[in-house]
Amino acid sequence: MEVIASPTEMQRWSERARHRGDTIAFVPTMGFLHEGHLTLMREGRKRASVLASSLFVNPTQFGPSEDFARYPRNFEGDCAMMRTVPVDVLFAPEPDAMYPQGSQTFVEAIEVTKGLCGDHRPGHFRGVTTVVAKLFNIVKPHVALFGEKDYQQLRAIERMVKDLNFDLEIVPVATVREADGLAMSSRNAYLKPEEREKALSLHRALKAAGACFRAGAREPDQLVRAARAVLESASGVRIEYVEAVDAATLEPLPTIDRPVVVAIAAYVGTTRLIDNLVLGRSA
Distance CA 148, CA 43 (A): 14
> Which alpha helices (DSSP H) does the chain contain, by range?
7-20, 35-47, 75-84, 95-98, 116-120, 124-139, 151-163, 193-214, 220-233
List the x/- string, 46-65, binding to ligand PAF by CB under 6 A: ------------x--x----
Q: Is 32 left (phi over 0), alpha (psi -120 to 50) or beta?
A: left
Task: Using CB under 6 A, pick the residue from 4, 81, 131, 237 that binds ligand PAF.
Answer: 131
Q: Using CB under 6 A, which of the segments 3-11, 23-31, 86-94, 111-119 binds ligand PAF?
A: 23-31
29 versus 113: smaller Cβ distance to ligand PAF: 29
Find how far residue 226's CA is from the centre of its chain: 25
Distance CA 268, CA 29 (A): 24
Which residue out of 34, 37, 142, 203 is catalytically annotated?
37
State the minimum distance, in angstroms, from the CB of residue 266 to ligand PAF. Answer: 19
Q: Using CB under 6 A, which of the segments 3-11, 28-36, 40-48, 232-240 binds ligand PAF?
A: 28-36
Distance CA 36, CA 274 (A): 14
State the minimum distance, in angstroms, from the CB of residue 157 to ligand PAF. Answer: 7
Task: Using CB under 6 A, pick the residue from 4, 33, 132, 138 that binds ligand PAF.
Answer: 132
Distances (CA, A) of 70 to 57, 129, 186: 11, 22, 12
Distance CA 217, CA 224 (A): 11
Find how far residue 236's CA is from the centre of its chain: 25
State the minimum distance, in angstroms, from the CB of residue 133 to ligand PAF. Answer: 10
**Can you spell out the DSSP letters for 231-250?**
HHHSTTEEEEEEEEEETTT-
3-state secondary structure of 3: strand
226 versus 273: smaller Cβ distance to ligand PAF: 273
- Is 19 known to be catalytic? no
Task: Using CB under 6 A, pick the residue from 78, 88, 150, 195 that binds ligand PAF.
Answer: 150
Task: Using CB under 6 A, pick the residue from 38, 116, 128, 266 that binds ligand PAF.
Answer: 128
Q: Using CB under 6 A, which of the segments 24-32, 79-87, 225-233, 235-243 binds ligand PAF?
A: 24-32
124 versus 228: smaller Cβ distance to ligand PAF: 124
Burial class (CB in 10 A: 0-12, 13-18, 19+), 248: middle
Kindly state whether residue 28 participates in binding ligand PAF, applying the rule CB under 6 A.
Answer: yes
150 versus 195: smaller Cβ distance to ligand PAF: 150
Kindly state whether residue 112 participates in binding ligand PAF, applying the rule CB under 6 A.
Answer: no
Contact by Cβ (8 Å): 131, 98: yes
Longest dimension (CA), the chain: 58
Q: Using CB under 6 A, which of the segments 26-34, 42-50, 173-181, 220-228 binds ligand PAF?
A: 26-34
State the minimum distance, in angstroms, from the CB of residue 134 to ligand PAF. Answer: 10
Task: Using CB under 6 A, pick the residue from 29, 130, 185, 271 that binds ligand PAF.
Answer: 29
The catalytic residue positions are: 37
Question: Which positions touch ligand PAF (CB under 6 A)?
Answer: 28-30, 58, 61, 128, 131-132, 150, 153
